[in-house]
Amino acid sequence: MPFFVVEKIMADVQIELPDGSVKQVHSGTTPHDIALSISEGLARQSLAARFNDQLIDLTRPLDTSGKLALITPNSPEALEIIRHSCAHLMAQAVKELYGDEVQVTIGPAIKDGFYYDFYSESKTFVPEDFPVIEAKMAELAKQDQPVTREVMTRHAAVDLFREMGETYKVELIEDLGEETVSLYRQGDFVDLCRGPHVPRTGVHKAFKLTSLAGAYWRGDEHNAMLQRIYATAFLNKKDLKAHLERLEEARKRDHRKLGRELDLFSFNEEAGGGLVLWHPKGAMLRTIIEDFERKEHLKRGYDIVVGPQILKTDLWKMSGHYENYRENMYFTEVDEQGYGIKPMNCLAHMLIYKSKPRSYRNLPVRYFELGTVHRHEKSGVLHGLLRVRGFTQDDAHIICRPDQIDAEVKGVMRFVQDVAGIFGFDYTMELSTRPDKSIGSDADWEQATKALRSALEDSGQPFEINEGDGAFYGPKIDVKLKDALDREWQCATIQCDFTLPERFDLTYVGADGEKHRPVMLHRVIVGSIERFIGVLIEHYAGSFPLWLSPVQAIVLNVTDNQADYAQEVYEQLRSAGVRVEVDLRNEKLGFKIREAQVAKIPYMLVIGDREMEQRTVAPRFRDGKNLEPVSVDDFVAFVAAETAAFK
């Protein structure tokens, strides 16, 4: 009996480990203590811990019983914790280098790395600063400074950061509205943070500063402009090297760079930010994709429609866009009547549906429009073709009976699968649920969400739940394409909407002779054509497959002797529907071939004296492979066979 009394006094906290074993420890024991009790090696490897589903530091006292899992380099949470901690290391280095000249703001971990935003009136960061900052970071890491957590009252923390001249931290603390806040110290550097963090700066052995950008404080263009330093960190130098190689490959594939080199598109501030100027080759690429879209939609039972670019403001109020989306819209006035420039195509499609009575036998109707829309994006987020203000969507709205939702959603999912396969993409899916800012009844949202979830489950396609990220009028399935570098791009979406049919009084006459309310599915397959082309450029590194290439072949003469025949071949190919160019310049053949390869043209048709005499062409693929000479008709047949599946 005395034995149990002693146990009650000395072991008053029970800690359950992942293997199911239980350790009885004193209140105040830390995760590091528990790791050390298992093995010194585990204690050295541990970075943080998860206690009752909350991530905590290794030095956090455990005062209650619960489940504990130690975070080691193999844990899925490890990389994010290292990157978040490395953001503090970078901020510490910047402060030691530039002192009061720079103020720190926020520095979160993000996908593939982290960033930290700095404010300075006198210091402008440039890439040449990166080696200096990295060297200081390495010096601080080598010192292996302990990283400690402190809890301080809000007022004390405000006084501390105000004395340090860190006004942005003061603002953050005051806006938190909490009585206490947590701070982290390493050496002379202190930062406001919830944590957790690695126990010592010596953990950081593989990091790299990558780029610079501007960012408004708290994302508000009325606030001060900050300087954002992007960086990344990994567990070891091998992983960092592999990542940097991927970044270098991504830079080579940057659609903005390739767009200029391949003469596809441009932007001009005289026209306005975020507005694309399509050059002939880019416009041809766009036309190929749009023609493909029309064919695929017609094949699947869609009707092509076209709506106006502007609609009366009253309609946007009726739909809920004015209340929930107007900060993203442009408005104008005609004859003292307010109009909204459309950011979406759904309103016109509903008006088309309402133009005549509908029977249950007519449903579903599927309206498809390559609809150009305009949205007010802040200048700071514009990014080549991936984020623009004017773009065209492959937009469709399926108006159906409630009992048809499942089949229609599955039909759209098959459409997405087919298109992803044609362009060579893998993809993942997410179910996005009701956001805080939304319209419609709880019952409608529940029914719509259940319908989408059921279709996803029946498909067997794995999916994740993205809480609170649905459209304001309904839940949605989001499809993320995975490109050649395994990067994800949001493109297709399927939204289930009970609310707008109610607001616009859409009806159909049922089998019972009574009026009923239909459901509307909003969906895109590739989404924004502009964005999709940007993704395609990077996915293919500008080397488009033959069916998609704006220029499929270029005719090259060796000398002026073959100029007339080369021109004849060019005209014959063009008449046969091959997208072809001809280069008759008095330049060396090697020079013309290199230029055609840089332009990533699939085939170079070389014409010398032999080809002219035999009435043939000598095809050369863009990778340098030479093919046997063929007749012009045979080359036309070859192109037709290679592209037949896409016509």
Annotated catalytic residues are: 346, 375, 393, 395, 397, 476, 522
Q: Are strands 66-71 and 13-16 parallel, antiparallel or unpaired?
A: parallel
Q: What are phi and psi of 262, to 5 degrees?
A: -90, 0
d(C-alpha 165, C-alpha 167), whole Å: 6
Of 118, 127, 126, 84, which Cα lies nearest the Cα of 99? 118
| Residue 619, preceding peptide bond in cis (omega within 30° of 0) | no
Pseudo-torsion of CA 125, 131, 137, 140, nearest 10°?
-120
Contact 352, 311 (CB under 8 A): no
Pseudo-torsion of CA 234, 240, 244, 245, nearest 10°?
-140
d(C-alpha 583, C-alpha 627), whole Å: 20
For 32, 138, 235, 548, the CA distances from 70, given in Å and listed in that order, are 9, 26, 16, 51
Residues 6+ apart with CB under 8 A from 248: none
| Residue type (1 letter), 307 | G
| Residue 435, preceding peptide bond in cis (omega within 30° of 0) | no
d(C-alpha 4, C-alpha 18), whole Å: 26
Strands (E), 343-443: 365-374, 390-400, 426-432
d(C-alpha 167, C-alpha 585), whole Å: 64
Tokens encoding 418: 């087919």
Contact 582, 566 (CB under 8 A): yes
Distance of CA 105 to the CA centre of its chain: 25
Contact 551, 580 (CB under 8 A): yes
Contact 46, 56 (CB under 8 A): no
d(C-alpha 123, C-alpha 109), whole Å: 24
d(C-alpha 347, C-alpha 230), whole Å: 41
Distance of CA 401 to the CA centre of its chain: 33
d(C-alpha 532, C-alpha 386), whole Å: 8
Side-chain half-sphere CA neighbours of 40 within 13 A:
0
